[in-house]
Amino acid sequence: MPSSPPPEYPSRTPMTSPARARSPRGDFAARLLAWYDRHHRHLPWRIPPRAMAAGERPDPYQIWLSEIMLQQTTVAAVKPYFETFVRRWPTVEALAAAESDEIMKAWAGLGYYSRARNLKRCAETVAAADGGRFPETMAALRELPGIGDYTSAAIAAIAFDEPAAVVDGNVERVVTRLEAIERPVREAKQDIRGIVQTLVPPSRPGDFAQAMMDLGATICTPRRPACAICPVSDDCKARLNGDPERFPLKPPRAERPQRLGAAFVAERADGAILLRKRPTKGLLGGMSEVPTSGWSARIDGDDRVDAAPFDARWRPAGSVQHVFTHFALTLSVYHARHDGSAPPDWWWAPRADIHSEALPTVMKKVIEAAIPGAIRKPTRNGASR
């Protein structure tokens, strides 16, 4: 435990003086930030506290990009995508000028594809605005597509030092445990935001936000939290009560219905595969796919070969299972050699380019089932792995 807070965070008089509290709430931010200074995660988009103290500031473009990618997505999954995007589109102007198709291709596999469509729209808006600079306040950021309560607060705090209350899933968990909040998080959201707002320090609000999230990700974890090494455990009512893992309270999730369908992989003599584009809105909106039947909500869905988009020697090639957020899908896969012409707006994707098409993971599974090895990424020497 740090014996003295940094000079920029003088201890304040505790708001209350509970007899047992060893750590008055006025110290909360100081103790959390002292922990963050020593134990922060090293992330590609983050400026570490030492560099922040030297006056360095993060690139608002990179903070925005990382925050969009991190929505409901793990840090590990985001890292390689973030590196690719920043290398390929180093500025918001570059991203705004990119073809939508190229952005969808680069986003393929990361999920929640409306994020990629909104990313492009947001980049265009920002690039067209005065100087191509991001708005610097939470309120103004909140107006941009794909940016809601959490993301606007996070960008404002991290990139622009606004003392905004940043509340994500990590912070909800930390706060519901600190206060032993017995109501479902859905209902307690506003209270949580209010509590966080009282804790945000006037300086280093961005580090504070990131510290809360790092704490949630590494110490105050959903299961088996490491209370013994938590820098704010003295403040934690859930720990005092003995069962922090019980928080946050969440209602049981609804059952996932099962859907059924068929997918058709047409392969040309040269190995090219027939693809088409899905509608812009809805599930996998704007992404590419092989032709499929509808995905019936009924267990006796249209998974038979007579659902094929055209006549060919379709041969069964197994089935693919995939779990989406709100339903599970089983696709019967069919494969055919086919050299006929493609319907308008469909295209033959050369085998060498398949890995870079805007194919969602479920479609990569389908193609792999029909043609094992088809998705492999070429290596630098031109061979296939």
Partner DNA sequence: GAACCGTGGCT
Partner DNA sequence: TAGCCAAGGTT
Q: Which residues bind DNA (CB under 7 A)?
A: 41, 43, 45-46, 66-67, 70-77, 109-114, 118, 145-152, 154, 168-170, 173, 186, 210, 213-214, 216-217, 222-223, 250, 252-254, 256, 282-285, 322-326, 360-362
Neighbours of 26 (CB within 10 A): 16
User: Of the two residues 148 and 343, which places its CB atom closer to DNA in the complex?
Assistant: 148
Q: How far is the CB of 15 from DNA (least distance, A)?
A: 28
User: Of the two residues 189 and 268, which places its CB atom closer to DNA in the complex?
Assistant: 189
Q: How far is the CB of 199 from DNA (least distance, A)?
A: 17
The catalytic site residues sit at 67
User: Of the two residues 149 and 302, which places its CB atom closer to DNA in the complex?
Assistant: 149
User: Of the two residues 31 and 177, which places its CB atom closer to DNA in the complex?
Assistant: 177
Q: How far is the CB of 17 from DNA (least distance, A)?
A: 33
User: Of the two residues 30 and 363, which places its CB atom closer to DNA in the complex?
Assistant: 363
Q: How far is the CB of 158 from DNA (least distance, A)?
A: 8
Q: How far is the CB of 375 from DNA (least distance, A)?
A: 11
